[in-house]
Structure 1
Amino acid sequence: MIEIVTLCANASRGAVALECEWLGGKGGGAPVIVFLAEGTIDPLGDWPARLVRALGLRGLVCGLSGGAPVRDQARDILPALFDARDIDSRMWIVGYREGGTIALLYAAEHPGGLAGAIVIAPRMFSQSPHAGHLLGVRAAFDPANLRERFACHAPHHEWTIEGELHGLRCPVLAIRDFPDDDGSAAAHIDLLKSHAHGADRLETHTHQGTAEFPPLDPMIRFISAHSPLSR
């Protein structure tokens, strides 16, 4: 059942209302997988429930606060939500697109407090309407210098989380979106690989357009291999 969780206002923001839904029940000692959706939780469909069932874990699907900067959501809104729902720090976080960006930022802020993170088509930096064309020639450059190479084409409001990626310590699985006609999805994954050297383990998976999206099998294998319950 979907519930609305209201986070009280603090010194930097007003009250925030988020959509949340528990999968597999609220109680029990099993670890929690937190799924980060953009806006409402509906776009995620039923795959979070299928992933939770396959692993025998609990899940909490969260609709993110639309319009709030990704750093504010990672540093303020998510911790407040986890406190409000008494979620253990050794959770897994799974995020899609902007949710993946926020998952990475949260993981970097709490280097010892996560079991692991899975990010699906994450965004390491913003893209202007012409960024896809520019990123199509990414193979000619060192991925570690992507942001600098394209800086002259970027408007001032663009952002990157490149600096925060060095703080990652937990296992991370990054799933690349498909189709990827302009090369932009791969560029984001390349930047992650170039700066997440501190992660306990970093794996990447390229989705094939004819297969299920998001692909559950690599997620099941990754969580099973790194869950404290499997050791």
Structure 2
Amino acid sequence: MEQFIHAAGHRVNTLQIGEVRADKPALVFIHGGLDCIAMWRDFPSQVTEMTGLAAIVYERWGHGKSDPLVVPREGDPREDEAGAPLTDIFRHFGLKDVVLIGHSFGGAVALLAAAKHPDTVRGVVAMAPQLVMHPQCIDGVDLAEAAYKSGKLREKLVPFHGDNTDTLFFDWAGRSKTRAFQEKSYARELEQIRCPVLEIFGEKDNYGYRPNLELSRECITRPLSVLEIPEAGHYPHLETPEHVLKAIEAFVGVLPAAST
């Protein structure tokens, strides 16, 4: 069921798959920097069917059908979106026990949210998380910007984001190149995570991934599982779903019971 809710002062679009149950965790999907609900395709439904857990999929502020961005924005959206928006989403759907599944920018949000919501987040699946804005990542942003200005990427994004597409894209690209964004360290936040983490990377990711993996291995003290898929790129869940689904099923299956 698709519905609009209010989160951190903005109207955001959400999709619920399955019935949320008090005796089971729910899955919460957090998409990447230029994505939306539709761009997950059928992946959330596949995970729900495989695990038997309900899912909440939402569109971050400025994406898809959610309220358009108001720019300029202060601070770091990765950190901001890990806080109040998720608090409101958890409250609206009555979620007290969740597994976060995030991709790219959303993977970073999921990791930071685990540190901010330790009593609610039981586990994190972070696919191609972008906490470290390293040189290869910036090169990937440059390529995306060139594709956007040529019209090719913009043509692909407009059907999903409508009139907000230009604002969304240039906020994402411009912020990625700022010194503050590139120099920001989230080592302390990763050290505060109190739940198991599964990180999934495609070895052909054009944004790169090794600096992010190295940071996680250095800072996350709770069980950290890592899957590196040789044939996958930045979207491993769409490019090699069989590997990703199998890894998530195994990860969720051994998560410790919620504390009482």
Category of TM-score, reference length = shorter chain:
0.7 to 0.9
Q: From the superposition, tell whether residues 227 and 51 of structure 1 become closer, same or farther in structure 2 (CA, over 3 Å).
A: farther
Counterpart among 197, 220, 244 of residue 196 in structure 1: 220
Shift of 1:130: 7.4
User: Is the contact between residue 24 and residue 58 of structure 1 (CA under 8 Å) also seen in structure 2?
Assistant: yes
User: Is the contact between residue 112 and residue 170 of structure 1 (CA under 8 Å) also seen in structure 2?
Assistant: no
Q: From the superposition, tell whether residues 25 and 175 of structure 1 become closer, same or farther in structure 2 (CA, over 3 Å).
A: same
SS at match of 1:215: helix
Q: C-alpha offsets along residues 69-100 of structure 1, whole Å, 9 cap, x if unaligned?
A: 11111111111121122112x21110001111
| Number of the residue aligned with 1:185 | 209
User: Is the contact between residue 51 and residue 216 of structure 1 (CA under 8 Å) also seen in structure 2?
Assistant: yes
Q: How does 1:30-179 map to 2 (within 5 A)?
A: 30-38=24-32, 40-66=36-62, 69-88=77-96, 90-127=97-134, 131=138, 155-158=179-182, 159-179=184-204
User: Is the contact between residue 102 and residue 125 of structure 2 (CA under 8 Å) also seen in structure 1?
Assistant: yes
| Number of the residue aligned with 1:212 | 240
Q: C-alpha offsets along residues 151-181 of structure 1, whole Å, 9 cap, x if unaligned?
A: xx98244233222111011000000134136
1:3 aligns with 2:27: no
1:224 aligns with 2:253: yes
Shift of 1:132: 5.0
SS at match of 2:86: helix
User: Is the contact between residue 97 and residue 120 of structure 1 (CA under 8 Å) also seen in structure 2?
Assistant: yes
SS at match of 2:231: coil
Q: TM-score, normalised by structure 1?
A: 0.76
User: Runs of 5+ in structure 2 lacking a partner?
Assistant: 63-68, 141-176, 233-238
SS at match of 2:81: helix
User: Runs of 5+ in structure 1 lacking a partner?
Assistant: 10-14, 134-152
Q: From the superposition, tell whether residues 130 and 78 of structure 1 become closer, same or farther in structure 2 (CA, over 3 Å).
A: closer
SS at match of 1:61: strand
Identical pairs, percent: 22
Which structure has the highest helix share of the two?
2
* Paired letter, 1:103: A
For residues 193 and 219 of structure 1, the distance between their equivalents in structure 2, rounded to whole angstroms, comes to 19
Q: From the superposition, tell whether residues 227 and 109 of structure 1 become closer, same or farther in structure 2 (CA, over 3 Å).
A: same
For residues 29 and 6 of structure 1, the distance between their equivalents in structure 2, rounded to whole angstroms, comes to 26
Q: How does 1:14-29 map to 2 (within 5 A)?
A: 15-26=9-20, 29=23
For these two proteins, the number of residue pairs brought into alignment is 200
For residues 165 and 4 of structure 1, the distance between their equivalents in structure 2, rounded to whole angstroms, comes to 31
User: Is the contact between residue 24 and residue 53 of structure 1 (CA under 8 Å) also seen in structure 2?
Assistant: no
For residues 231 and 137 of structure 2, the distance between their equivalents in structure 1, rounded to whole angstroms, comes to 24
Q: C-alpha offsets along residues 103-154 of structure 1, whole Å, 9 cap, x if unaligned?
A: 1111011234321110000012234677559xxxxxxxxxxxxxxxxxxx98
What is the RMSD computed on CA atoms of the aligned residues?
A: 2.6
Q: From the superposition, tell whether residues 157 and 220 of structure 1 become closer, same or farther in structure 2 (CA, over 3 Å).
A: closer
User: Is the contact between residue 137 and residue 206 of structure 2 (CA under 8 Å) also seen in structure 1?
Assistant: no
